[in-house]
Structure 1
């Protein structure tokens, strides 16, 4: 199979998709929106140029990681421009930053297996980021998980999860007995505790999913996974009894309709939007994303389904699955346990984020406020996903 030919074909399809979407937005506005076509040109240039640089100077490794990331990012920028052009402008700046970080990681990092010696550095940085919002955080959308430095805001947990995966990979790479699991278990429990205190249930669920996946891959012991689920269930029950916000999330998940004017307004509007879009959608620019709270971030999947239809929602899920598959492919081909566990952890991180937020906005699981990777507005999330993908790209280059 000619991989380069297939990659270019995917990019051409993406260019065409972006052209149709931005041209549609331009025509719907009066006067004609030239800015939308400028945005189209910028996105296509960034995708094409980054792929060219990676292919020319770093021909080894799995280039589909970058291609799928660019496709998902372009979908996000399209829908953000439709919601509010200023969101898209900020997002494209973060997209440029993400690609730059991706390429820098590929260029500057030597063999990753050399970095397994910094286990305690990863642990300290991870715990610092996990704890930061507990003491210095600002409450936003019900969770105390944002930290502001002047006018610049970020979510420390987005950075913490990168170092959590690195720490667990270093701690579990040479698993031999149960005693080696005590320290990682303590670090994970402390991290989860901080997330509960910050009312950031989405991140708590995400970190649990990452940790259990890496534990099973490192040990191949089903009994450890079972114990983790039992402990998580006990912790969830205690949290349910102790914290009102946990009980509220469960209550509106079980039956949101009696509270649709207040507590469950977000999820009800999300379900209305998805139902109104049907299979084919109302048409880009013809929906009502302003009726869905936080439509540019937590509920962007609902906006996409409303205007582009459930078919587009399914297509996005397929794209995420393909990205997850390529990430796990790097793990399978890794030559050392540290790199393999890194790849598994970052793959699980991306996959779990998608499942948690899509499950939440569709009412399949209790709603938790995390972003849809690469699509939702947000600089912290965009940059950290590209950091993870850059490391995965490096792992794929060293794979056999």
Structure 2
């Protein structure tokens, strides 16, 4: 009962945040924008109904996963509404589809343990998805060849490839047994290592450095959790250092990203424009922000996806932005918690993989915006605009919810 009370208290806070944001957005136009209120009410109903279904029919799992994800979705849609109404409406559709998928995963999927035996299927899907954009992708979108256009629709195969890779590594590493003979032990891990290296190579060739970092983080974390051996982690780190150095000298786009990262002000009128304008926006927002609708996000390139966090920093302030990072940490914590409450190794590795995926994606894009690491063009989970990212993130969260239900 105490948990239910905490959930209801958090839901009321989400409703309050949602209505305050959209009431404020309505005042940005004259006459008053009534559609903003409609959007806010729709979001509240959608979130409330999703929680009701999960709580009513599947009461045993961790409902805070859904609550934290819903909070991020509210912030994302409100920010997009301030930038472009049509994008906000499209994002609402994607979030609705994501929540439907989330509920269906919990309701329809049988015991996850029965999916551990499909290792070859996951491997084949991973090997197909990873080079897909390299072969059929459009190189003129965002500077990276990671998008595929099919008529009016566009999607990123690497977003779905992340899901397939986690499932493959979980099924491959779930049967790992420590062998005293180093050669036998190494040979047992050779296939997962080759699949991971193939995925990383495809991302580098597509100039999708953000996804490469995420795949590396997922692979190393799952390897350590499965084996418990630090020597494999240090070996991976050493190989990645050699690979990164080689990529710097072999690929011009990698060298340019590093040069812009080292001194973005020298490239502030071309390749460094995005970072510089983002830093200006963050600085002008200060601790408490300029106020919703009072900033100048139109000067920040790609402000609806890659740099939406800079827009939030400018108009909501650094304190609010740090609160968002805390929400991502809590989402990561609830995901890792699901791994601790189950005794099935396959489920444990899936929970670790998906939690790491969300955490890595968040840290990589925020680190790039603040110029802590070279900028990589990826989305901020749930908040940034993008159908592929929304669907895959809610799929991952649905699996985490399923694991917590089964445990």
TM range (shorter): over 0.9
Instruction: Show the counterpart of 1:167.
Output: 168
Query: Hey, what does 1:123 align to over in structure 2?
Result: 123
Indicate which of 365, 368, 376 corresponds to 1:360: 368
Q: How far apart are 1:398 and its partner, in Å?
A: 1.4
| In 1, Cα distance between equivalents of 2:194 and 2:302 | 34
Q: CA deviation at 1:28?
A: 2.1
Question: Matched residue of 1:153: which SS?
Answer: strand
**Superposition misfits of 4+ residues, deviation over 4 angstroms:** none
2:223 matched to 1:189?
no
Aligned length: 399
Query: How far apart, in 1, do the equivalents of 2:3 and 2:335 lie?
Result: 16
**Distance in structure 2 (CA, Å) of the matches to 1:242 and 1:386:** 37
> Residue 77 of structure 1 contacts residue 92 of structure 1 at CA under 8 Å; is this kept in 2?
yes
Counterparts of 2:31 and 2:127, CA distance in 1: 51
CA contact (8 A) 1:119 1:170 kept: yes
Q: Does 1:334 align with 2:335?
A: no
Matched residue, 1:83: 83
Counterpart for residue 144 of structure 2: 143
Q: Paired residue for 2:306, among 278, 289, 298? A: 298
Separation (CA, whole Å) in 1 of partners of 2:332 and 2:267? 36
Q: Distance in 1 between matches of 2:271 and 2:277?
A: 12
Q: CA deviation at 1:393?
A: 0.6
Report the RMSD for the aligned CA atoms in angstroms: 0.7
CA distance in 1, matches of 2:243, 2:342: 35
Q: Which residue of 2 aligns with 1:54?
A: 54
Instruction: Give the aligned partner of residue 251 of structure 1.
Output: 259
Match of 1:286 in 2: 294
Instruction: Verify the 8 A CA contact 1:335 1:398 in the aligned structure 2.
Output: no
User: Given the alignment, which residue of 228, 234, 246 partners 1:220?
Assistant: 228
Measured after TM superposition, the shift of residue 60 of structure 1 is: 1.1
2:105 and 2:14 map into 1 onto residues whose CA distance is 25
- Name 2:319's counterpart in structure 1: 311
Q: Does 1:231 align with 2:239?
A: yes
Once residues 260 and 173 of structure 1 are traced to their aligned partners in structure 2, the CA distance between those partners, rounded to angstroms, is 48
SS at structure 1 position matched to 2:289: coil
Partner SS for 2:130: helix
CA distance in 2 between counterparts of 1:69 and 1:205 reads 23
Residue of structure 2 in register with 1:266 after alignment = 274
Q: Which residue of 2 aligns with 1:345?
A: 353
Q: Matches of residues 11-160 of structure 1 in structure 2 within 5 Å?
A: 11-139=11-139, 140-160=141-161
The whole-number CA distance in structure 1 between the counterparts of 2:293 and 2:20 is 12
Kindly provide the CA deviation profile for residues 9-52 of structure 1, in whole angstroms up to 9, marking residues without a partner as x: 11111111111111111112111101100000000000000000
1:221 shift after superposition: 0.4
CA distance in 2: counterparts of 1:383 and 1:127, whole angstroms: 20
CA distance in 1, matches of 2:11, 2:300: 31
Which residue of 389, 394, 397 maps to 2:402?
394
| Cα distance per residue 1:265-299 (max 9 Å; x no partner) | 01001111100100000000011110000100000
TM-score (norm 2): 0.97
Secondary structure, aligned partner of 1:144: coil
CA-CA distance at 1:185 after TM superposition: 0.4
Distance 2:322 2:265 in 1: 26
